[in-house]
């Protein structure tokens, strides 16, 4: 699908940290309708992926050429404590949009996660068999399976440890570290026994755009190059902020946070972009380069405050 100015792209669940990046990439190239249940920015309209009639009406009124589903509950502890909400958003929401995309005979983009693997392997490629451990991973994997078994025209992108959105939008690891620093913490306790591949939202969004234009439908791992532990990422981030002398990063095991982060997590969520590489369409930077670019948002915020 060649995306031109008149191409109409519907983005569901566009109010989160990935939504901003996807909206900015596509809105600069074509006509976008962005929806969410949390109207936290002026370009969002209300639509709930869990309510078939509601999302169907919203999509039908726009008559899109492609649908991108970003709607998801991604807080693992929230998903364990609110399992019905997790299944309805992550699984039924994906199902609802897939049904609509099939009826309209248009492509669908679905975002999955490295968390669908059990961590028994060190590294996972696009073809390795998932074995999700927790409710978040199980509900996301259900969506993945439904999309690829019911649609011919689909893109599934598996992300790793997502980073992006800056201090106001990022709900993940980097911003959690930043909040501790900003609150005055001089020592950060970070796990070293969880391994993964950081994934920068801006690069990820551009990757979606580039792949959509190829018509090479299918499932893809799409993460930044390289891999690291949570500890490695924290050390790199503190260094990029220029705070190595002021903030100490201390290694701990996951046991240290067992009460706060009780949801099951795989020991390794490391992905490789085997299919993107093989097809010559891997546009993802190394995670250190991506984090260096992303850290500029936090450096600006530090200077402003």
pLDDT digit string (tens) for 146-174?
A: 999 999 999 999 999 999 998 888 888 99
Residue 21 within any structural domain of the chain = yes
Number of domain units in the chain: 1
| 3-state SS class at 14 | coil
> What's the CATH code of the domain at 47?
3.40.50.720
Phi, psi for residue 31 in degrees, rounded to 5: -95, 125
* Residue 179 included in any domain: no
Please choose, from the candidates 203, 191, 270, the residue with its C-alpha nearest in 3D space to the C-alpha of residue 232. Answer: 191
Predicted structure pTM score: 0.95
Exposure string of 79-94, with b = 16+ CB inside 10 Å and e = fewer, is beeeeeebbbbbbbbb
Domain assignment present for 191: no
Strand spans (E) along 121-169: 123-124, 154-159, 161-163
| Confidence (pLDDT) at 168 | 85
CA distances from 275 to 158, 212, 216, 302 (A): 12, 15, 11, 39
Angle CA 167–200–89, to nearest 5: 80
pLDDT of residue 261: 87
Look at residue 136 and tell me if it is in a domain. Answer: yes
Residue 188 lies in a domain: no
Beta strands in 62-197 (DSSP E): 66-69, 108-113, 123-124, 154-159, 161-163, 187-191, 195-196
Residues in Cβ contact with 20 at an 8 Å cutoff, skipping those fewer than 6 apart: 14, 41, 164, 165, 169, 201
Has residue 237 been placed in a domain?
no
- What pLDDT score was predicted for residue 47? 98
Instruction: Please give the radius of gyration of the chain, using alpha carbons only, rounded to the nearest integer.
Output: 19
In whole angstroms, give the CA distance from residue 62 to residue 33.
7
Name residues of the chain where pLDDT drops below 70.
Answer: none
Tokens standing for residue 62: 């726009």
For residue 69, the cross-strand partners are: 12, 110
Whether residue 90 contacts residue 33, with contact meaning beta carbons closer than 8 Å, is answered with: no
Contacts 24+ apart (CB under 8 A), 45-54: 47/12, 49/12, 49/13, 49/89, 49/92, 49/93, 49/94, 49/96, 49/97, 50/88, 50/89, 50/92, 50/93, 50/96, 51/96, 52/96, 52/99
Q: Which of 54, 17, 9 is nearest to 175 (CA)?
A: 17
Q: Is 190 inside any structural domain? A: no
For the beta carbon of residue 62, count every other beta carbon within 10 angstroms. Answer: 17
Structural domain boundaries, residue 90 = 8-170+198-226+270-285
pLDDT tens track for 58-95? 999 999 999 999 999 999 999 999 999 999 999 999 99
Look up residue 4 and give its two tokens: 């031109």
Are residues 234 and 161 in contact, defined by beta-carbon separation less than 8 angstroms?
Answer: no
Residue 35 maps to a domain: yes
């Amino acid at each position: 699908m060649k995306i031109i100015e008149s191409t109409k792209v519907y983005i569901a669940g566009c109010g989160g940290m990935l939504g901003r990046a996807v909206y900015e990439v596509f809105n600069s190239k074509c006509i976008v309708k962005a929806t969410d249940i949390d109207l936290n920015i002026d370009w969002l309209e209300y639509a709930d992926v869990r309510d078939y009639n509601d999302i169907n009406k919203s999509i039908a009124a726009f008559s899109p050429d492609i649908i991108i589903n970003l709607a998801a509950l991604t807080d693992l502890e929230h998903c364990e404590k609110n399992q019905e909400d997790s299944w309805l958003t992550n699984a039924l929401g994906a199902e609802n949009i897939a049904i609509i995309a099939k009826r309209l005979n248009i492509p669908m983009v679905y975002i999955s996660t490295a968390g669908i693997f059990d961590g028994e392997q060190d590294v996972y490629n696009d073809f390795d068999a998932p074995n999700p451990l927790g409710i978040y991973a199980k509900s996301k994997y259900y969506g993945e399976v439904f999309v690829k078994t019911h649609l011919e025209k689909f893109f599934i992108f598996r992300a790793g440890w997502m980073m992006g959105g800056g201090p106001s939008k990022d709900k993940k690891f980097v911003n959690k570290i930043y909040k501790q620093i900003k609150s005055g913490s001089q020592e950060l306790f970070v796990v070293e026994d969880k391994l993964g591949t950081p994934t920068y939202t801006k690069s990820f969004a551009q990757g979606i755009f580039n792949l959509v234009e190829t018509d090479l439908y299918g499932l893809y791992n799409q993460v930044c190059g390289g891999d690291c532990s949570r500890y490695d990422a924290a050390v790199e981030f503190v260094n990029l902020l220029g705070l190595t002398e002021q903030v100490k990063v201390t290694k701990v095991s996951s046991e240290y946070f067992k009460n706060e982060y009780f949801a099951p997590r795989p020991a390794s969520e490391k992905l490789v972009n085997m299919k993107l590489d093989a097809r010559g369409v891997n546009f993802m930077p190394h995670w250190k380069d991506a984090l260096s670019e992303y850290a500029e948002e936090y450096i600006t915020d530090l200077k402003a405050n």
